Amino acid sequence: MPKYFQPEIETASREQLLEIQNRKIVEQVRHVYDHVPYYRALMQQKGVTPEDIHGVEDIHLLPFLTKADLRDSYPYGLLGADLKDCVRIHSTSGTTGKRVVAFYTKEDVDLWEDCCARAIVAAGGSDEDVCQVCYGYGLFTGGFGLHGGAHKVGCLTLPMSSGNTARQIQFMMDLHSTILCCTPSYAAYIGESLAEQGIRPEDNCLKAGIFGAEPWTEEMRRSIEQSLGIHAYDIYGLTELGGPGVAFECEAQSGMHINEDHFYAEIIDPDTGEVLPEGEKGELVFTSLDKRAFPLLRYRTRDICMLKREQCPCGRTHIKMCKPMGRSDDMLIIRGVNVFPSQIEAVLLSEGYSPNYQIVVDRVNNTDTFDVNVELTAGQFSDKVSETQAREKALEAALRTMLGIGPKVHLVTPQTIARSEGKAVRVIDRRKLHD
Ligand code: ADP
Ligand code: ZN
């Protein structure tokens, strides 16, 4: 079984990688300057010319791009290639506002699919595998990205798209799927549905799952691994950079290797824009080194993350990013306290609750209210009110210890919180309606 999809590049020495990055950034900056007037103007405002960029050590001189720039330049303002050389358009899922469209040349699609193929091989995939892709197909990048990667690896590919869980399970069982690709919340739902049908983890042929497109905790990983009887691997990406496969997990399951030959990563202080030293937490910024149709330089992802370069037991040399804690705009400020939904998820799962929860924030008489609805599993359900109340109090205390602020917990009956087939909606912030 192959260990790497592109061994030479995935295990290249630090010096070789740097040499590739330096060569590519010089070409890319020249390409963008010549083809993208929007970015050329930003460079001119900052007084930077392509001649100033000799390698990645000069990247910090370049201006940032933000989601606002993408919206302002919608749809063609950041296009870096002739439309006749573009073969594909994808769009963000619009989780946090207006959609953004991204363009691809044939070569851009090719390198994106290579990145996804690397992820599949890192999860143990080969041409012996049946890869069930239940990320959405369409404008969303998840389906087509993993689909293209699975083809490159030579997997028997099942292009299921998302939804119709009964059919997902039937095909999974009948066609002996070995690798499952979807969002972690949908994987959890599939696990739950299998259990309801009395199908035990050892009854399916799955060995690995490649889950991403939304934040998920280590506790969630363990819960999915148990319910499906698999190893679960994280995959990260965003439409603006092509889609999934910007970074992926290997057998070490301790952070995702960034495909550094295609993407250069920096961590910055989100308030000052200053580049932070390796190992510090901040906003993740990416430069796409060789995508030509939508060549973003220093794109601010708003994802809060850390980078670490360490020797990995898998033999890959590419730098790793930790699981993103969520986006800077996912962070809730409740009565002045910063709260990430992922912190709440970690507490719920470690206290033995299901990953079916919803956080509701509102403002009543100028004070923030903070409620967490958590679904009981069938085994936890009790019709004794006093028992449920005692459980609620215990969970409130555990959450208060973690967050520094106490929510009101409501334990609700099984099957009352909507399941997600794509990205889960964990937060309902009604305060926005009053603003
Ligand atoms: P949208 O911004 O509309 O959700 P995308 O589908 O392109 O559009 O989503 C990209 C975003 O999804 C990333 O910026 C990040 O916030 C989130 N994301 C993707 N993969 C992961 C992952 N493995 N872990 C945490 N967050 C992720
Ligand atoms: Zn590794």
- The pLDDT tens digits of the residues spanning 183-205 come to 999 999 999 999 999 999 999 99
Residue type, 347: V
pLDDT (0 to 100) of residue 331: 86
Rounded distance from Cα 213 to ligand 1 centre (Å): 4
Dihedral angle sign, alpha carbons of residues 61, 66, 71, 72? negative
Rounded distance from Cα 264 to ligand 2 centre (Å): 18
pLDDT > 80? residue 1: no
Nearest-ligand number for the alpha carbon of 254: 2
CA atoms within 13 A on the CB side of 226: 7
Cβ atoms 349, 185 nearer than 8 A = no
- The pLDDT tens digits of the residues spanning 9-67 come to 999 999 999 999 999 999 999 999 999 999 999 999 999 999 999 999 999 999 999 99
How far, in Å, CA of 228 to CA of 186, rounded? 12
How far, in Å, CA of 103 to CA of 116, rounded? 18
Nearest to 160 by CA among 187, 189, 180: 180
What is the pLDDT confidence band of residue 211, given thresholds at 50, 70 and 90?
A: very high
Rounded distance from Cα 236 to ligand 1 centre (Å): 7
Residues with CB under 6 A from ligand 1: 92-96, 212-215, 234-239, 301, 303, 323-324, 327
Nearest to 323 by CA among 162, 122, 184: 184
The residue whose CA is least distant from atom 27 of ligand 1 is 214
How far, in Å, CA of 155 to CA of 369, rounded? 49
Residue type, 294: F
Cβ atoms 361, 334 nearer than 8 A = yes
Neighbours of ion ligand 2 (CB under 5 A): 250, 252, 312, 314, 316
Nearest to 391 by CA among 413, 371, 410, 372: 410
Nearest-ligand number for the alpha carbon of 251: 2
Q: Residue 258 forms beta bridges with which residues?
A: 247
CA atoms within 13 A on the CB side of 107: 10
How far, in Å, CA of 399 to CA of 346, rounded? 10
Cβ atoms 65, 300 nearer than 8 A = yes
Three-class secondary structure of residue 156 per DSSP: strand
| Of 144, 236, 304, best ligand 1 pocket probe by most atoms within 8 Å of the beta carbon | 236
Mean pLDDT within 351-362:
94
DSSP symbols for 320-377: EEPPP--BTTT-EEETTEEE-HHHHHHHHHHTT--S-EEEEEEEETTEEEEEEEEEPP
The DSSP element (H or E) to which 304 belongs, if any, is strand 299-305
Nearest-ligand number for the alpha carbon of 234: 1
Ligand 1 atom at minimal distance to the Cα of residue 99: 3
Mean pLDDT within 97-103:
83
Measured in residues, the chain has a length of 435
pLDDT (0 to 100) of residue 191: 97
Torsion of CA 13, 17, 18, 22, to 10 degrees: 160
pTM: predicted TM-score of the whole model, two decimal places = 0.94
- The pLDDT tens digits of the residues spanning 325-343 come to 878 778 899 999 999 999 9
Dihedral angle sign, alpha carbons of residues 428, 145, 305, 402? positive
Residue type, 205: C
